[in-house]
């Protein structure tokens, strides 16, 4: 196991250095089609979670500048208001709304969902962007390990509860979930809250991000007939408040080599804009193209029964039935 873990980290480090940095973005962007981003989405309703900072802010900005009505889901009212007014003045788009919701709390997500459903707004795009890497083992007031609560249970609950509003915009509806290249180092595990072994924030984060990719596949199969597309993506390595706080030494080591938040958000926005015929539901995207879900010889593939069992656990923990 030690050798396998060492191989996974090495493969991830080399692959990441070559592709996830700013220079990777510059190389990949030579193949981008600029017309892909000139699509306007006036009148479409988009929810972006974690929209007050980093990649989520850049995504909300990018969608607002293309005419969307954007619902910015933020946990902190003041930070959310500040981000909203900055985006409003930069884009001139008045159709921005702040929704305060702490995605580490099932109760908060459920109350957001019932408030939102009462408005009966059809949702075209849900961007599950909010996420964190907490290095110490913190338990939420509802008793869940914090990384898991936000990255997995929060993402899962938000998506499941928004399905009825997404269905209203089918066949255009889509859910974009922001995973991480870090997931390449982890297979799926049913130890969702890191209950065994010595806790490691980065490992828990990569496990969470692997689950997001498997959930996306699962949703695509389960809800494909509802006309909703499900896409996971990763932004590469971008210099954001989250990265400098959670990974200070990584941030220092790669100073000047990381992507901007806008470069990190590029694929998120691209996935929101493209005609669905171009996209593969259940796919994992990076720099506007489908990316592998596993690195060679990393033994990170799991059977379908593992994600099925994870979904059963999430349903019983969150009781998200609609
Ligand atoms: N930057 C990278 O290199 C990188 C690489 C791979 C994946 N990602 C992923 O990209 C996404 C955005 O990350 P980022 O780098 O832009 O980090 P960031 O600047 O810290 O932004 C994260 C956003 O998520 C919000 N958030 C965290 N916990 C929340 C909660 N309990 N409820 C509601 N919102 C919450 C944050 O709100 P506050 O401002 O209130 O904390 C913030 O708005 C994350 O899913 C991250 O895992 C980033």
The finding on whether 237 has its CB within 6 A of some atom of ligand 1 is yes
Does the pLDDT value for residue 322 go beyond 60?
Answer: no
Mean pLDDT for the chain overall: 96
CA 97 – CA 72 distance, rounded (Å): 6
Q: What is the pLDDT of residues 203-258, one digit of tens each?
A: 999 999 999 999 999 999 999 899 999 999 999 999 999 999 999 999 999 999 99
What is the distance in A from the centroid of ligand 1 to the CA of 264? Answer: 12
Across 2-8, average pLDDT: 90
Q: What is the pLDDT of residues 288-320, one digit of tens each?
A: 999 999 998 888 999 899 999 999 999 999 998
Those residues with Cβ within 8 angstroms of residue 311's Cβ, 6 or more apart along the chain or in another chain = 156, 215, 218
Overall pTM surpassing 0.95 (yes/no): yes
**Residue 237 in contact with residue 261, Cβ under 8 Å?**
no
Structure tokens, 4: 């396998």
Those residues with Cβ within 8 angstroms of residue 44's Cβ, 6 or more apart along the chain or in another chain = 67, 68, 69, 124, 125, 169, 172
SS3 71: strand
Across 161-182, average pLDDT: 97
Is 205 in the active site? yes
Q: What is the pLDDT of residues 51-74, one digit of tens each?
A: 999 999 999 999 999 999 999 999
The finding on whether 54 has its CB within 6 A of some atom of ligand 1 is yes
CATH superfamily of 2-13+42-318: NAD(P)-binding Rossmann-like Domain (3.40.50.720)
Across 113-140, average pLDDT: 96
Q: What is the pLDDT of residues 9-51, one digit of tens each?
A: 998 999 998 999 999 999 999 999 999 999 999 999 999 999 9
The finding on whether 235 has its CB within 6 A of some atom of ligand 1 is yes
Structure tokens, 165: 């509003």
Cα-based torsion angle of the residue sequence 210, 214, 217, 221 in order, rounded to the nearest 10 degrees: -170
Structure tokens, 20: 């996830």
Atom nearest to 258 CA in ligand 1: 3
CA 160 – CA 166 distance, rounded (Å): 10
């Amino acid at each position: 196991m030690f050798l396998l873990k060492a191989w996974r980290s090495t493969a991830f480090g080399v692959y990441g250095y070559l592709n996830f940095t700013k220079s990777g973005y510059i190389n990949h962007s030579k193949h981008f089609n600029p017309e892909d981003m000139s699509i306007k989405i006036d009148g479409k309703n988009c929810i972006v979670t974690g929209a007050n900072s980093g990649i989520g802010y850049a995504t909300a900005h990018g969608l607002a500048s293309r005419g969307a009505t954007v619902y910015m889901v933020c946990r902190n009212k003041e930070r959310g208001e500040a981000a909203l007014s900055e985006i409003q003045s930069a884009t001139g788009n008045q159709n921005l709304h702040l929704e305060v919701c702490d995605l580490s709390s099932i109760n908060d997500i459920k109350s957001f969902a019932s408030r939102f459903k009462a408005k009966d707004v059809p949702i075209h795009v849900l961007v599950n962007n909010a996420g964190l890497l907490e290095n110490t083992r913190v338990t939420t007031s509802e008793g869940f390990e914090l990384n898991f609560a936000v990255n997995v249970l929060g993402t899962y609950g938000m998506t499941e509860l928004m399905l009825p509003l997404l269905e209203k915009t089918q066949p255009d509806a889509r859910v974009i979930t922001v995973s991480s290249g870090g997931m390449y180092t982890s297979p799926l595990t049913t130890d969702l809250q890191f209950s065994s072994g010595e806790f490691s924030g980065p490992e828990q984060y990569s496990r969470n991000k692997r689950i997001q990719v498997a959930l996306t596949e699962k949703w695509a199969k389960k809800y494909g007939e509802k006309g909703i597309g499900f896409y996971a993506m990763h932004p590469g390595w971008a210099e954001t408040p989250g990265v400098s706080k959670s990974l200070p030494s990584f941030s220092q080591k790669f100073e000047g080599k990381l992507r901007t938040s806008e470069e990190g958000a590029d694929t998120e926005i691209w996935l929101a804009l493209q005609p669905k015929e171009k996209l593969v539901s259940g796919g994992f995207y990076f720099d506007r193209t489908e990316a592998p879900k596993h690195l060679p010889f990393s033994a990170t593939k799991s059977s379908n029964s593992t994600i099925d069992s994870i979904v059963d656990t999430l349903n019983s923990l969150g009781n998200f039935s609609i």
